Amino acid sequence: MTTAGDIMHRGAQWIPAHETLDRAAQLMRELGVGALPISDENERLCGILTDRDIVIGCVAMGHDPSKITAGEMAQGTPRWIDATADITDVLREMKEHQIRRLPVIDNKRLVGMISEADLARHLPEGEIAHWAESVYAMSATPRTR
């Protein structure tokens, strides 16, 4: 059985909700990632911030990224998966919620992230195609996560 922990990208980092978007962008650059999980004061997942969120939701709206916090950008209920979850559960979670990045949690701690690239490295081509169709083609409204 392949698990979320087997395919995830290890070393994911939180961005605290009180940190500004300019700091988030710097951290994304340092880590070479396009998304960061947002943590509350108790290091619990409260959202995910993407590079697209910063550009579209802040910069393009004429806001100053040094004055907007990651927590202000957090919307909806964040989705995550346990590190021991089977890959079929990972795919189902991502398909049902039309998300492209999924934090992996173990004992209430962030241990990694699963992205499209992780799926592509570990799944057969046909499964990737089916997943992509369900996440991209079936969406009536654009999703950023």
Band of residue 122 on the pLDDT scale cut at 50, 70, 90: confident
Q: Dump the DSSP string for 57-126.
A: HTGGGT--TTTSBHHHH--SPPP-EETT-BHHHHHHHHHHTT-SEEEEEETTEEEEEEEHHHHHHHS-HH
Residue 58, pLDDT score: 94
Residue 139, pLDDT score: 53
Residue 137, pLDDT score: 67
Residue 66, pLDDT score: 96
Residue 76, pLDDT score: 75
Residue 78, pLDDT score: 87
Residue 126, pLDDT score: 80
Q: Cα(14)–Cα(47) distance, rounded to whole angstroms?
A: 10
